[in-house]
Structure 1
Amino acid sequence: MKRDINIFEFPLNLGLKKKDHETEPGVKKLPEWLRKFDFHRAINPNNIFRLEAPEYSMELDQESGVLNAEVIIKYAKEQADFIIKNHQENTFNIMLGGDCSILIGTAIALKKLGNFGLFYLDGHTDYIPAHLSQSAAAAGMDLAIITGLGHEKLTHIDGLNPYFSEENIYCVGNAETDDKEYVEQILNSNIEYFDLDKLRKNGFGKTAEDFLTMINSKSLDGFFIHLDVDVLNDQLMPAVDSRMEDGIDYENLREILQPLINSPLCFGIEITVLDPDYDENGTYTQALVKNLIQIIK
């Protein structure tokens, strides 16, 4: 990485529905957990910025059908302003969640900064409207929200719908393909969709290069990477909210991310959903940190 690096910490967990045995989802501890295993030290960023998140709740917003919608909207606005205020030219930005709903604030910021693409690397598509969601949790709908699918109070913040154009998005790595209604949502969109099987057939490096070709052909201002660690094989990363057996390995992750991160058009990457409560000894986190450092640095 030849560019300077900044780290942004967004420890939001309001986008997840807590499980019966939980007091609240543990993903809010992700930044401190990565710091414990020397991620920050190894990255050696110019700056570390942090925006504290509201306390956890389980309030269903009747208007949108989404848990904690009002507070998520408020945080997204604050997050967008925070990013715009603190980001610097020619700097690579690492956003540490929290859950996937932190993408909403980043998406608003990028919409205000220009016309950006999105590489969405996730074990799920997160592209469904609220009425199809079993959890009503924003982290399971964030790709839908940032492209304008959903209630306008979430999709049209500051009058900016859509925050990303579907035509400028690759959704990559979904292993949850059994639910036809779930998959049909994204198949009927204009998003370039690679489920896990199609990704393997197309090739990890080639998929990244195809995305970069699209970004350049459209003369976009840049692009952002979303990385939900549940895209990794369950044996490598079981410390997530929604586990699935299949997934990619670290060699695959390196092959797909390095061309993207090395591009000068890459605004940054967000890392979400690792829950320290499910990795008490840090075994899985240490492997993740080791590989992310090799990929980013």
Structure 2
Amino acid sequence: MEQTVRILGVPMDLGANRRGVDMGPSAIRYAGLADQLESIGQSCVDGGDIAVPRPEERDPDDNDFKAGRAKYFTETQAVCEDVATAVSATVDDGEFPLVLGGDHSIAIGTAAGIADDRNTGIVWFDAHGDFNTPETTPSGNVHGMALAAILGVGPFADHAWTHTPRVRPENIALIGLRDLDDGERTHINESSVSAYTMTDIDERGITEVVEEAVDVATRDVEQLHVSFDMDCLDPNEAPGVGTPIRGGISYREAHAAMELLYSNAGPRLCSFEVVEVNPILDQHNRTAELACELVASALGQRIL
């Protein structure tokens, strides 16, 4: 499916406690993303980067939560609102938004921009649930709350910029889970999201899991968004990520998953974001190069 892909960089690391993912968009571009997409027939334009404030110049606890903690919440709101505006404008121009992070908190803005006026399902690849709230988080890092924020869980229901009502929990599928906090485990079990752990992948295989996840995410909706945290992969494959956890998805499983997304979702695939590439922790930019490969597979690259 030929289309124009607009690259949007979000050099954000306010949502994490480890610096470096702000360089992720540059690393992915440097790895040859545009050339790889154009080699499979996709026109590619670069929309530049969203401006992100420096954490050294801000107070991490400047927010209005009465209980709990969400560091740099005010700054995250400003960035995510800009992301939403840029994504929405991309869609209005008839182009495909490809958002490069940065930490996973940027997904709040991407979801708001892509699901502004259409019911949208999300397949969320991640080692973590990102289902904490300010009351349950052990760290206060918003990248661990992004999905809960999008769904308006707990206090996020009172913050209109986080909650995207057109994304319903029954159209969310998480893939690759293997590191959950107690509070988010409770939230996930109490919600109607579909969650697939690495145990599910081991027992059922990546093909069956992804096919079921796409079916869940696209049921009675108009479009599908994919949010891909590179830490869903095993660190042996992707060492340069914000929060590496052993025992993840293999190289071939990841490509198979992306190929299945392309073949099963078809034209309903409306946007893609890839996050948490940390060049400081990487080896010769191999994680960014793998990110380029996986995006290309999701957008139609095949062996034959």
Q: Shorter-normalised TM-score: what interval?
A: 0.7 to 0.9
Instruction: Label 1:173 to 1:62 Cα distance change in 2 as closer, same or farther (>3 A).
Output: same
In 2, the alpha carbon distance for the partners of 1:89 and 1:149 equals 32
Residues 17, 93 of structure 1: alpha-carbon distance in 2 compared, 3 angstrom cutoff: same
Q: Relative to structure 1, is the Cα distance of residues 216 and 294 closer, same or farther in structure 2, using a 3 angstrom cutoff?
A: closer
* Aligned positions, number: 288
Kindly state the Cα deviation for residue 275 of structure 1 after the two structures are TM-superposed.
0.4
Q: What is the CA-CA distance between 1:136 and the residue it aligns to?
A: 0.2
Residue in structure 1 matched with residue 81 of structure 2 by the alignment: 77
Encode CA deviations 1:5-46: one digit per residue, 9 max, x unaligned.
22111111111124xxxxxx1111111111222122222343
Q: Distance in 2 between matches of 1:237 and 1:46?
A: 25
1:6 aligns with 2:12: no
SS of residue paired to 2:135: helix
Q: Paired residue for 2:206?
A: 204
Partner of 1:39: 33
Report the counterpart of residue 282 of structure 1 in structure 2. Answer: 285
**Pair 1:193 & 2:195 matched:** yes
Percent identity between matched residues is 20
User: For 1:159-170, what aligned pairs fall within 5 Å after superposition?
Assistant: 161-162=164-165, 164-170=167-173
Amino acid in the other structure paired with 2:53: P
Secondary structure (helix, strand or coil) at the match of 1:113 reads: coil
1:117 and 2:121 aligned: yes
Code of the aligned partner of 2:47: F
Equivalent residue, structure 1, for 2:253: 252
Distance in structure 1 (CA, Å) of the matches to 2:87 and 2:287: 29
Which 5+ residue runs of structure 1 have no aligned equivalent?
A: 19-24
Amino acid at match of 1:286: E
Cα 1:92–1:244, aligned 2, differ >3 Å: closer, same or farther?
A: same
Shift of 1:290: 3.9
CA distance in 1, matches of 2:294, 2:116: 32
SS of 2:97 mapped into structure 1: strand
User: Is the 2:174–2:194 contact (alpha carbons within 8 Å) kept by the matching residues of 1?
Assistant: yes
Please tell me whether the aligned partners of residues 155 and 162 of structure 1 are also in contact (alpha carbons under 8 angstroms): no
Who is 2:230 aligned against?
A: 229
Q: Hey, what's the Cα distance between the residues in 2 that align with 1:58 and 1:237?
A: 32
2:175 — aligned with what? Answer: 172
* Distance change (3 Å), C-alpha of 1:117 and 1:284: closer
Q: 2:10·2:51 contact (CA, 8 Å) conserved in 1?
A: yes
| 2:271 counterpart SS class | strand
Q: Distance in 2 between matches of 1:71 and 1:109?
A: 18
Contact conserved, 2:108 with 2:146, CA < 8 A, in 1? yes
Distance 1:261 1:162, change over 3 A: same
Partner of 2:143: 139
Match of 2:273, as an amino acid?
E
**Quick one: structure 1 residues 252 and 282, their matched pair in 2 at CA, closer, same or farther if it must change by over 3 Å?**
same
Change (3 A) 1:175 1:47: same
User: Residues 111 and 164 of structure 2 are in contact (CA less than 8 Å); yes or no, is this contact kept in structure 1?
Assistant: no
Residues 217 and 124 (structure 1), Cα distance of their counterparts in 2 relative to 1, 3 Å cut: closer
1:149 lines up with 2:133 in the alignment: no
Q: State the AA in 2 paired with 1:52.
A: A
List runs of 5+ in structure 2 lacking aligned partners: none
- The alignment partner of 1:107 has SS state of helix
Does the Cα contact within 8 Å between 1:146 and 1:155 map onto a contact in 2?
no
| Correspondence 1:50-129 to 2 at 5 A | 50=48, 51-56=50-55, 57=58, 59-64=60-65, 65-88=69-92, 91-129=95-133
| Equivalent in the alignment of 1:26 | 20
Please provide the CA RMSD for this pair. Answer: 2.3
Deviation at 1:54? 1.9
Distance of 2:64 and 2:230 partners within structure 1 = 31
Corresponding residue for residue 22 of structure 1: none
- Cα distance in 2, alignment partners of residues 167 and 237 from structure 1: 30
- The question of whether the paired residues in 1 share the 8 Å contact of 2:261 and 2:298 is answered with no
Change in CA separation of 1:242 and 1:35 when aligned onto 2, cut-off 3 Å: same
Tell me whether 74-83 or 280-289 shows the greater mean CA deviation.
280-289
The 3 A distance-change label for structure 1 pair 221 and 245 is same
Asked whether 1:49 is paired with 2:52, we answer: no
The CA distance in 2 between the partners of 1:203 and 1:85, in whole Å, is 38
Deviation at 1:144, TM superposition (A): 0.8
